[in-house]
Amino acid sequence: MRIRNIKKNQLAAWLFAGLSAPVAQIAGGMPWQTVALIAGACLSVCWLLGRMELAPAKWLCIIEYVWLVCLLGSMASWISDSWTAGAVYPAVPLILLVLGGASAYRGTENGARTGSTLFWLIGLVYVGVIVAGAGEVDPRELAVRSGDIDARLIAVLLIPCLTVFLKEEEGKLAARGLLGIFIFAVLVSVLVTGALSLPVAADADAPLHEWVEGLSLAGTLQRFEAVVSMALTMGWFALLSYLIAAAGRLTECVKAGAHSKGCWAAVAGAGVLVIFGRGLSPTV
């Protein structure tokens, strides 16, 4: 499988598009100071690993592959939170898994092109939402406060470490891509907790949706929920395709030419967990 066609900018855009969905759903319920500390630490680790030239042992690749399948399956329950009325479970997660596999099985570069294209669509949505919601923030709500740490954010922000298995141009992941993810995570936390207050945001099942319910742009464009749900769905598709592509590369590290089989095996394994293992911890 050829991976030399992936550019660093494409990889960074693919990652941002994918991580935008879980980060937006999780960071809104945590204090922005905590989000900044977690994001800074996790993304620094990812950046350092992305600069290294590592040759993982086969046994490590097998362990990472099993962990990836568990991560794919456990994230399915999060996808249902992308819609205010909920999603048809497990049909929607299974459909996104199959689409992610179709995007990644022919080669990592195909997934990278798709993800980098979705980056622009998702970015346009979030720019509009940020512009509409910036004026709703109460600075008094941004004071230093303690709050619960959602371990899911740590698991999500360590995903860029998989760049070591998607090597291109010496495996160096553009630092500005990770910086963009950091800024986005902190910005979501500031906007949501600043508008709703931390106690309300932390107790909400979907703080992001609760925040966007009352937003309007220039007094005319309202009801952002459907648009945000669309952006979250595109983000989840980008993330699933990234993880499935990484699973294919891990398989190829064990057996040359097995990328396609590794991708579909990951989809099948994750699908089983979606159907029979809802609620499995994503930090496994």
247: DSSP letter = H
- What one-character DSSP code corresponds to residue 211? H
Measured from the Cβ of residue 278, the count of other Cβ atoms closer than 10 Å reads 15
pLDDT of 130-169, one tens digit each?
Answer: 888 888 888 888 877 777 788 889 989 988 887 666 554 4
pLDDT at residue number 3? 45
Beta-bridge mates of residue 217: 221
Structure token digits, residue 247: 């699973």
Task: Compute CA distances 163 → 45, 52, 112, whole Å.
Answer: 12, 10, 12
Residue 234 confidence (pLDDT): 93
Report the distance separating Cα 153 and Cα 21, nearest Å.
11
Residue 173 has a pLDDT of 58
- What pLDDT shows up at residue 282? 46
β-pair partners for 221:
217
Instruction: Report how far apart, in Å, the C-alpha atoms of 68 and of each of 171, 188, 242, 257 are.
Output: 20, 26, 11, 19
Gyration radius of the chain's alpha carbons = 18
β-partners of residue 222 are 216
pLDDT of residue 85: 60
Reduce the DSSP state of residue 217 to 3 states and report it: strand
Q: Is the dihedral of CA 68, 34, 230, 203 positive or negative?
A: positive
Cα angle vertex 95, ends 106, 276, to 5°? 110
Mean pLDDT, 10 residues at a time, the chain of 284 residues: 59 88 91 92 84 72 87 80 67 89 83 87 89 83 77 89 59 70 93 88 84 67 75 92 89 84 92 74 45
Residue 6, classed as helix, strand or coil, is coil
pTM, full prediction: 0.87
Per-residue model confidence (pLDDT) at position 140: 84
Residue with tokens 């309007």: 216
Distance CA 74, CA 55 (A): 28
**Which pLDDT value is given to residue 277?**
67
Closest CA to 84 of 213, 188, 184: 213
Full DSSP string of 68-135: HHHHHHHTHHHHGGGSTT---TTHHHHHHHHHHHHHHTT-HHHHHHHHHHHHHHHHHHHHHHHHHHGG
Rounded CA gap, 247 and 105, in Å?
10
Helix (H) or strand (E) holding 240, with range, is helix 225-254
How many other CB atoms are found less than 10 A from the CB of residue 51?
14
Q: What are phi and psi of 264, to 5 degrees?
A: -70, -30
**Per-residue pLDDT, 2:** 40
